[in-house]
Structure formats: C-alpha cells, structure tokens
Amino acid sequence: MLIASSYGNYQIMNKRIYFLDHLRTFMILLVVLTHAGMTYEAGFDNFWIVSDPTKLNSIALVRLYLDLFVMFTIFFISGYFAPASLSHKTSWQFILSKFHRIFIPWIVAVFLLIPAYKIIYLYSRGLPQEPWFTYFHIFRLKGGDPYYFPHNPTQSWLWFLPILFLFQILYLAIFKIGLIKIKISFPVALGFTFLTGLVSSVFIAQAGLTGWTHSAIADFQHERLLSYFLVFLLGSLCHAKNVFAGEKGNFTLFIGSNIALGIALAAYTIFALNLFNNLVNPTQTHFFISALGDRIVYYGTSLISMLSFLYLFIYSFQRSLDKPIKVLDRINPNSYYVYLIHMIVLGIIAMLLVPVHIPVVIKYLSLTVLTFVISHGLVLVIRENVPRILPSRLDWLILVAALILSGYIGTKNNDPTIELSSPISPSGTNLHEAAIRNDLAAVEQSIANGVDLDVPDPASGSNPLMTAIVFGRTEIALALMEGGADVNFQDKGGSTPLHAAAYFCRPELVKALLDHGANRSIRSRDGLTPLEVVSGPFEDARAGYDYFQETLGPLGLKLDYDYLQRTRPEIAQLLMQY
C-alpha cells in the first residue's frame, strides 16, 4: 500500500543498505518523541489531540532541536531512493506507483484518522461530539476560530505525504527535462542547498509570509518547503554519485561536522530564544545585530545545524549499523505505516495517562515508548493478516469517493447556522487564547466564574490584560480591568499593561488604565517607563514594529504604521498630562 512495501530491497552494487532503513526507523521514533512532548507543553491546547494539565515547558527545547533535522532526514532518505524507483519504470508507471503508494494511503488516512483525531480531541476535554461533516479537514466553520481545531480541522501530522508525493513528481519532471544530467559536485550541491535555503527563508520572513498554508491537499510551512525539496534532491544526488558504496564516511569531515554543529547550535539557540522572547515581550524588542541580521543568523545556523546533524547521523549509522539487526529488520518495513497511525495511538495513550500522578518526564517518555511500540505492534498484525489492504484497482474508486465527500463538506463551509462548541476553561492560558481570538463571551464567563484574571502566560509572564492590549482587543481589556485584573502587573521583562498600551498606541486603553490606577513611573528591566517607550523617533522603533507585525500578524495583530507614527506623540502627551 505504501512506500514501505519495498523496504529492504534497495541495493547498491548488490549490497544491501541496512543503515538507511535503520536510520529511517530511528527518525520515526524521534517524530513520536516530538509529538509526545507537545502533549505536555503549554500553548497547544487549542489544536493538540490531548492536552495534559501537567506541563513541563522545558520539553520545548527538545522539540526545538529535533525540529532542526528530523523531517529533513526523512526527506533526504526518500530522495535517495527516488532514482532507483524511477530507473525501471516509464514516467506514467512511476506516477501511478507513487499515486498508489503515497497519495492513496494519504487519502484513506486523512479521511479516517483526522475524524478520529477530532473524536479524541473532544472526548479528552469533556466536550460533546459534533455533526459528522465537521470532522474532516475540508471543513471550515464560517466565522470560527482558525486556531481552534474543531472549527478548523487541518491535516496535522499527515502533511508529509502529499508533500512527498509532490517532490516525487517534481523529481520526475526534473529528470525528464534533463537537469538531473547536469554534472555537479557534492560540495557545490551542499553550498547551493545552504545558500538557496537561506535566501528563500529570509526573503519569506522579511516579506511577512512565514507560517503555514492549509488546504484540502497540501499543508506546508512556507519558509521550509524549498529547503525540504533541496534536501530531497541531495538524497537523489547521493544515489547518483554512489556515495555509500565505498569507504564508510570521512572521519575528518565527521570531526568538522561536530565542530560546525557545536558552534551553529549554540548560536541558533541564543538567537532562537531571543526571537521568541521578542515575540512574547513585545514592548522590549532586542536584536543582537538588527531585525534582518538576527534573522539571517537564525536561518543560517538552523541550516548549518541541519546539514551537520544529517551527516553525523549518516556517518554514525553507516559505520555502526550497516548490517542486519534482527529486531530492526523486523520493524523497518513498518516505518511509514507507523508514521500514519501513531498520532491516534498517542492520543488514546495520552488520555489514559492524564489521571496518572507521576512526574511529567516519566509521562513524556512513557507516552513516547508506548506509542512507538504499540503502533509497530498494530502494523505488524495488520501486515501479517491483511497483506494487501488496498489493491491498486481500488485507487480510482477511492479518489472519486473522496472528491464527492469533499464536495459535500465544502457546501457546509458557508453555512452560518452551524454552531460548534468552544471550550471555556478557568486556566490563565485559555484566557490569553480567548483574548487573542477576541472571544469576549469566554472572557466574561471566566470573570463571572471568579477565576484568577492574572494567571501569567507561561512563556512571557504577562497577564491576559496585557495580551488583550497587545492585540488591540479593547472590549476584552476593558472587561478585564472592570473585573479586577491587576493594571500594574509586570511580566518577566518588567513591563506593565501601560507599557504595552503606550507602545502599541492604544489611547483609549491608556486612559482606562490610568483611570484604574496604573502607575506611570514603573520601569521595565530595560529601565524604561511607559512614557519612554514612545518618546524616541518612530524610525528608531520601526524595526521592532516590523518584527511584531511579522511574528504576531498570523495571530491577528494588525499594525498601521502611519497611525503609529502619528499617534506616538499623542500617547506621550497623554502620559505627561495625567
């Protein structure tokens, strides 16, 4: 059914490549590790399959590093085997093969597993189940919250398969027009991958186009899509140059990659954490170089780290694991099947672990191991008892059925009478999320329930009032002030709601804060009062506004630069008069 059906049959010069099979299985384990961690991180409650109330945000660092190389490595391995798959097929045979092994399994998975994902999502939160057509990734609730999964189901983890299918077709096109025959050395290809990936990522970031596109067929991250494809092509170049047939790696290059990884990873960590801090502390923008300079270093070091990780794993696995290993040989053919089903298995196990009172780290590791082992067990049972789940003669029937179902669901997207549940929780995190999505009803209900209105955001330390001010949610900010939110609350950077209202030029909220007793003399950790954050020339502050528009724009922040430039002096005058 899937690519995995031919695992273990790849050869170079009649020599089986065991280590790539083993490496792929290991990468799938790391995918499971990444997804398990998101269950215990704050900030994913609105769309993650299960949200355990016990959190350990330091897990985010694990995800930060895994995100550098895991999917890149999987694309590299897939690219390596593309030439072999094409070599004995006509173009049409190649397309039909990938259609059967990649695209059809994706259709089956996305129309079966995404509904299962939503069932678990609602059940784990004690929410009622909803109309059947709202469980498919085609559905979009008219006027709904785009960041709340029941209103806007996405492909989630299944984005990989249609993108892989696209890369296979693009590779065929490149092969047919003769670009594959262009002679290029591997160092030149590496340099091209790095520079092209860097330029495209920085350009996309500078243009404010970072983020994801979600559609009926393809979900992808804008700044990564081209880099993924270039790494896929690197894999195909390795096959063309037969790089794994000779000596098992270059020790000098191995040492150099370790050094490059150490330096790049250190710089990446520093710049990534600083960019994140800028995101969650919008009144205290800090750049080591400049907005553009920091962005170049961030993307540059991420690409160097990715390429270094890739070589280190290939070198280590080729030298140590390029041999048959009974257990791995047994489970290697399951890899992509496990990728398909692991999220549903993870959701069920995560629900069962919620009431278990053990340290979060133990939960995290238990969820990872149990998901990986049980998923492989399920796949083994299915493969042994149902060897051909989807005969190729059913492909077109499945495609037609999917198109008909999609067409019907699409007619429901503009139906204003559909009402779906919206979770209201007394947690500080949900109050922040309610402010971002401008959900006044949820905020008023929380105030009526007597919840703590100043529970800080785990990352920035700001209270919900500050979040509402940053995003210009005036009604919510006023409701929180009337409800008793602390108008002199300080976040981790020492900023108050008045700092935020002044910086983002919210005059109505500045007046309301001052009327509610906000202290104008409180200084942030940078030593700035609310007056001082708007006292300098606009051009000096422009880079900060650029950054926040880029990073918070996808969440709903809209900045009018002419308005900001015109209003900053008025805000300063207002603060001086009170």
Q: How many residues does the chain have?
A: 578
Structure confidence at residue 489 (pLDDT): 94
**Tokens 């990938």 belong to which residue?**
98
CATH number of 428-577: 1.25.40.20, 3.40.50.2000, 3.30.70.2340, 1.10.260.40?
Answer: 1.25.40.20
**pLDDT at position 247:** 67
Predicted pLDDT at 427: 43
- The DSSP H or E segment spanning 16 is strand 15-16
Q: What average pLDDT values come out for the chain (578 residues) when binned by 10 residues?
A: 36 65 96 96 86 85 94 96 89 93 93 96 88 93 82 93 96 88 83 96 88 90 95 93 74 92 95 78 74 92 96 93 90 92 97 90 96 95 70 81 90 81 51 84 82 77 90 94 94 89 94 93 89 89 78 76 92 88
pLDDT the model gives residue 375: 97
Beta bridge mates, 221: 212
pLDDT of residue 519: 94
pLDDT of residue 14: 43
DSSP-based helix, strand, coil % in the chain, nearest 5: 65, 0, 35
Q: What is the pLDDT of residue 284?
A: 62
DSSP string, 265-299: HHHHHHHHHHHHHHHH-TTS---SS-HHHHHHHHH
The whole-number pLDDT of residue 231 equals 97
pLDDT at 42: 78
Q: What is the dihedral of CA 426, 428, 431, 435, to 10 degrees?
A: 180
d(CA 104, CA 398) in angstroms, rounded, equals: 7
Cα distance between residue 210 and residue 554, in whole Å: 8
- Rounded Cα distance between 111 and 104, Å, is 11
Domain ranges of the chain: 3-173+216-248+322-402, 428-577
pLDDT tens per residue across span 382-437? 887 765 555 667 888 888 998 999 998 988 887 778 878 764 443 444 688 788 88
Q: Are 37 and 62 spatial neighbours (Cβ–Cβ below 8 Å)?
A: yes
- The amino acid occupying position 335 is S
> Per the structure block, which two tokens stand in for 512?
């309301």
Q: Residue type for 116, please?
A: A
* Residues facing 64 on adjacent strands: none
CB 25 within 8 A of CB 50: no
**Residue 103 DSSP one-character state:** I
> What secondary structure does DSSP assign to 188-225, as a single string?
HHHHHHHHHHHHHHHHHHHTT--SEE--SS--EEHHHH
**Backbone torsions φ then ψ of 15, nearest 5 degrees:** -115, 125
Q: Which residue has 């694991």 as its token pair? A: 321
For residue 32 the two structure tokens come to 């499971």
